[in-house]
Amino acid sequence: MVLRAAVVGLLVLALAGCASDDVVEMADNPQITVSHMNETPARQLFGHRTEPTAGRPRSYGSYARGCLQAGAQLPETGPTWQAMRLSRNRNWAHPEMIDFVQDLSRFAATMPGWEGLYVGDMSQPRGGPMLTGHASHQLGLDADIWMLPATDLTLTRAERESLSSISTRRAGGAYVGEAWTAQHWQLIRHAASDPRVARIFVFPGAKVWMCEHETGDRSYLRQIRPWYGHHYHFHVRLTCPNGNDDCVNQVAPPPGDGCEEARQWQRNILNPPPPQPDPNRPAPVRGEIMMDDLPAQCINVLLGAR
């Protein structure tokens, strides 16, 4: 850690001497300069960068400790998609993810009752920690796909701020609800079958439902992982692009279809296990991510010109 901090410190000094863009513009404090970066949470720094950097697209670090160089923007509206919550400026990603979302939206448009996809949060223009919300989505390789079928692709910016997705769960996520359809299954199955996909996070009841209804190839089920929430949207995570050696893949899911694990999640929802031996112990405090916690390349990404 000492050596890492020294390397970051040297890079900070170098950038302070040569970078013309050495002030991180922030609405609440425009005077954050290179010399003060390590005193400011990284989410405050990356969250106020409204444009991507120039250069070759690269993801640096891990999904929850990283950044994105030369991010691409998903157009606000396309023939088979619309980006939602535009005020967040989170419709940015690695070009590999942009391509994936567009591919998936074209498939969605072939399903009855769907004209395409409503696409939720992806990443910030330069990736990194976000001001609010997600712990991941930092590399440009994560995207939230709404469960609400996209039936109108002419929504205004205002409508995209007010429209809500639909919940597809019941019984706290142990089972699918009335809004869940075979089309949701088809869409998630198609997404999980793409070789670029590392994981898809969805509520446990949906995974169990797919396990119980699949009568053909079950290999895609390995990529579908139960996780908290994820009933208004499902979360797609791609593997690191080929040749992007500074990007750290998540450990692959265990072998097998993962159905018994999902059933255990379901059982735990329906019959919560006894509390841990010390239920009064306070939860650990989750500290702020600072620039020292990110790969050294993220300083250059943060300060780099458009």
Tell whether the model's pLDDT for residue 5 goes beyond 80.
Answer: no
The number of residues making up the chain comes to 306
Does an H or E element contain 298, and which? helix 297-303
How confident is the model over 64-90, as a mean pLDDT? 98
CA distances from 56 to 25, 70, 95, 162, 243 (A): 23, 6, 10, 35, 12
Give residue-wise pLDDT tens across range 258-292.
999 999 999 999 999 887 776 666 666 668 999 99
Which CATH number is 57-271 given? 3.30.1380.10
Section 193-203 average pLDDT: 98
CA-nearest of 167, 219, 116, 88 to 210 is 219
Query: How far apart, in whole angstroms, are the C-alpha atoms of residue 163 and residue 180?
Result: 19
Q: How far apart are CA 296 and CA 294, in angstroms?
A: 6
CA pair distance 207, 200, nearest whole angstrom:
10
Helices (H), 133-196: 157-162, 182-192
In this predicted structure, the answer to whether residue 20 has a pLDDT above a threshold of 60 is no
Q: What is residue 276's predicted lDDT score, i.e. its pLDDT?
A: 72
6 vs 194: which has the higher pLDDT: 194
**CA–CA distance, 183 with 104 (Å, rounded to integer):** 13
pTM of the model: 0.88
Which tens digit of pLDDT belongs to each residue from 220-267?
A: 999 999 999 999 999 999 999 999 999 999 999 999 999 999 999 999
Specify the higher pLDDT residue, 121 or 16: 121
